[in-house]
Structure 1
Amino acid sequence: MGKDAKRRKKRQANGATGSTGAAGRAKPRGATAPKRKRKAAAAAALPLPPGVPALPVPPPEGTLLAEGRHLAPYEPPPSAATAAILDSLWQTVEARRVQGDVARSHSARLIARGTAKVAQKLGEEAVECVIEATQGHREGTVMESADLLYHLVVVWVNAGIRPEEVWAELARRQGISGIAEKAARPQGILESAGTRKLP
């Protein structure tokens, strides 16, 4: 048998076992790599036998870096870290309300959804702040407090309340006993709250 005949016979044998394509071309290297990856992923998803603890799988390094960039707590310069930032925040939210750009401004979009939605978001943020505080998470309480103050400012803007009105009410209460102040409130407030008990 000549060399050409041997080569043809060898190609035919390879074709029968599927190691070459329809045109007799060999499959490129690494063609089975995706299949191996799928098998490895499927094996990793299999349940562990009873009593065998699952090892924690850390997230990819890229995910950790991204979270570090986006979830890092805000650290303003000392000059900006004062209560005056609430006045500045009110002015920003009011400007967003006037502009009404709901496609680009979260504040404008929230106010456009109506008073009920604005109040609901404030309640949600208050609950989240309470949860962090009761669990003793100091950093979480700081971050949720910032969220709560932001949504409180949105409530003010939506209701047409300026910060100085709230500051004036706080100033009025200075030097007054909290118990005496609550006792002096109109009874309608207590009745609308569904209780006559003073905390």
Structure 2
Amino acid sequence: MNVLEELYQTVESRKTEYAEGSYTRYLFEKGLDKILKKCGEECSEVIIAAKNGDKKETVLELSDLLYHLTVLMVNEEISWEEIEDELSRRELKTGNLKQFHQVDKNT
């Protein structure tokens, strides 16, 4: 089992078992809006750390983001296996570069 699967199991247990002072449990009690807000905040912090070129801070913020995304996954009953399956399907695709609409800024 890898660290992300272990994290998932820990988060899953916090959803169903009361743990005094558990931040994870707090997020579940507050609900989806709070979980989504934290995911957004952490994503912004990753962007800022990376933009600042601070690798150590970027690693810390990415870890926070992955934790909060895991809380979201557990809340929405999405497993790491489902994510891995989707990523595997995408790995098989080739030539899927999206074409962007060109805008003529002179008109």
| Paired residues, number | 101
RMSD between aligned alpha carbons?
Answer: 2.1
SS at structure 2 position matched to 1:179: coil
Is residue 173 from structure 1 mapped to residue 80 from structure 2 by the alignment?
Answer: no
Give structure 2 stretches of 5+ with no counterpart.
102-107
Name the residue aligned to 2:104. Answer: none
Structure 1 residues 168 and 134, CA, compared in 2 at 3 Å: closer, same or farther? same
Is residue 108 from structure 1 mapped to residue 4 from structure 2 by the alignment?
Answer: no
Give structure 1 stretches of 5+ with no counterpart.
1-82, 184-195
Residue 111 of structure 1: how far off its partner (Å) = 1.1
- TM-score, normalized by length of structure 2? 0.85
CA distance in structure 2 between the partners assigned to 1:178 and 1:141 by the alignment: 31
Selected match of 2:53 from 136, 149, 166 = 136
Residue 165 of structure 1: how far off its partner (Å) = 0.5
Name the residue aligned to 2:105. Answer: none
Structure 1 residues 178 and 157, CA, compared in 2 at 3 Å: closer, same or farther? farther
Name the residue aligned to 1:66. Answer: none
Is residue 97 from structure 1 mapped to residue 15 from structure 2 by the alignment?
Answer: yes
Residue 178 of structure 1: how far off its partner (Å) = 6.8
Residue 175 of structure 1: how far off its partner (Å) = 2.7
Selected match of 1:157 from 29, 53, 74 = 74
Moved over 6 A (4+): none
CA distance in structure 1 between the partners assigned to 2:88 and 2:24 by the alignment: 28
CA distance in structure 1 between the partners assigned to 2:94 and 2:34 by the alignment: 34
Paired AA for residue 165 in structure 1 = E
